[in-house]
Amino acid sequence: MRHILLLGGTTEASMLATALAERGERAVLSYAGRTEAPRAQAIPTRIGGFGGVQGLADHLRRGGVTHLVDATHPFAARISANAIAAADLAGVKLLALTRPAWEACPGDHWIRVADTKGAVAALGMDPIRVFLALGRQTIGDFAEAPQHFYLLRFVDAAMPPALPRHHLVVDRGPFSLAGELALLREHRIEVIVAKNAGGAGARAKLDAARELGLPVVMIDRPFIPDRPQVGRVAQVLDWLDHGVVRGV
């Protein structure tokens, strides 16, 4: 009987977990343990790192895992690279479930940058009111531009960052257009900084920016080495049944 390890932490991973439960698959969803109360899942979960590539390869071997599905976030580049190397070491089949990147629509005003350092530079020197919709882990990069006002949004309450002018909102997505419009208006936001995460869970802020005519500094996805990859849950289920990646 096949045994699936699902690297989770995204809306798509939760949807796949539900589909696997409905099929009675033997599967476990893995969280890194980044948040205090991760969403409950339809399949058993495990929480915490594996200890690098070797740790993940050992986990795959010891656990008798036959299929590894990487449904982590497009910016979770380290775990995704580890999954490729560990699956190879352990001789386990690997497939990534990744949502397509967002693309600018008519009316969008995006300034594309390669990383958070590029985002800091794109904000310029003149003080401006920024919605920094990046979560908590990369906030430190903006300490070199303390002149701006930063609206921050974290999943969990945390120590206030070393940004002298900031307002912290604690909220987890998915977010709504009405909620994003109200937030941007309340804090008189002039520019949004976002990762090109893709998916529906965080895109409302982009639709709100377009409606308000606000620019978006859009951080492109980091490099992830080549691996078999699909965009839909149905394709993962088909791969489990037929062992090949198909359009479905």
Instruction: Indicate the burial class of 245 (C-beta count within 10 angstroms; 0-12, 13-18, 19 or more).
Output: middle
Of all residues in the shown chain, the one whose CB is closest to ligand 3Y8 is 135
Q: CA-CA distance, 142 to 158, in Å (whole number)? A: 17
- The least distance separating ligand NAP from the CB of residue 99, rounded to whole angstroms, comes to 11
In the bound state with ligand 3Y8, the residue whose beta carbon lies nearer, of 65 and 196, is 196
Q: Convert residues 57-76 into a mask of x (bound to ligand NAP by CB under 6 A) and - (unbound).
A: ---------------xx-xx
Binding region for ligand 3Y8 (CB under 6 A) out of 7-15, 86-94, 105-113, 226-234: 7-15
Helix (H, G, I), strand (E, B) or coil at 146: coil
Q: CA-CA distance, 129 to 229, in Å (whole number)? A: 38
Binding region for ligand NAP (CB under 6 A) out of 31-39, 89-97, 110-118, 235-243: 31-39
Cβ contact 38:31 at 8 Å? yes
Q: Convert residues 157-196 into a mask of x (bound to ligand NAP by CB under 6 A) and - (unbound).
A: --------------------------------------x-
Residues 154-183 that bind ligand 3Y8 (CB under 6 A): 154-156, 172-174
b/e burial code for range 225-244 (CB count within 10 A of at least 16 → b): eebeebeebebbbbbbeeee
Q: CA-CA distance, 112 to 219, in Å (whole number)? A: 6
Task: Give every CB contact of residue 239 below 8 A, 6+ residues apart in sequence.
Answer: 95, 228, 230, 245, 246
Q: How many residues bind ligand NAP (CB under 6 A)?
A: 24
Q: By CB under 6 A, tell whether 8 contacts ligand NAP.
A: yes
Q: CA-CA distance, 236 to 234, in Å (whole number)? A: 5
First to last CA, the chain: 24
Binding site partner of 136, from ligand NAP, ligand 3Y8, none, Cβ cut-off 5-8 A by kind:
ligand 3Y8
Task: Give every CB contact of residue 143 below 8 A, 6+ residues apart in sequence.
Answer: 161, 162, 163
Alpha-carbon radius of gyration of the chain: 19
In the bound state with ligand NAP, the residue whose beta carbon lies nearer, of 28 and 163, is 28
- The least distance separating ligand 3Y8 from the CB of residue 240, rounded to whole angstroms, comes to 20
Q: Site for ligand 3Y8 (CB under 6 A): which residue of 26, 39, 117, 187?
A: 39
Binding site partner of 56, from ligand NAP, ligand 3Y8, none, Cβ cut-off 5-8 A by kind:
ligand NAP
Return residues touching ligand NAP (CB under 6 A): 7-10, 30-32, 34, 49-52, 55-56, 72-73, 75-79, 82, 135, 195
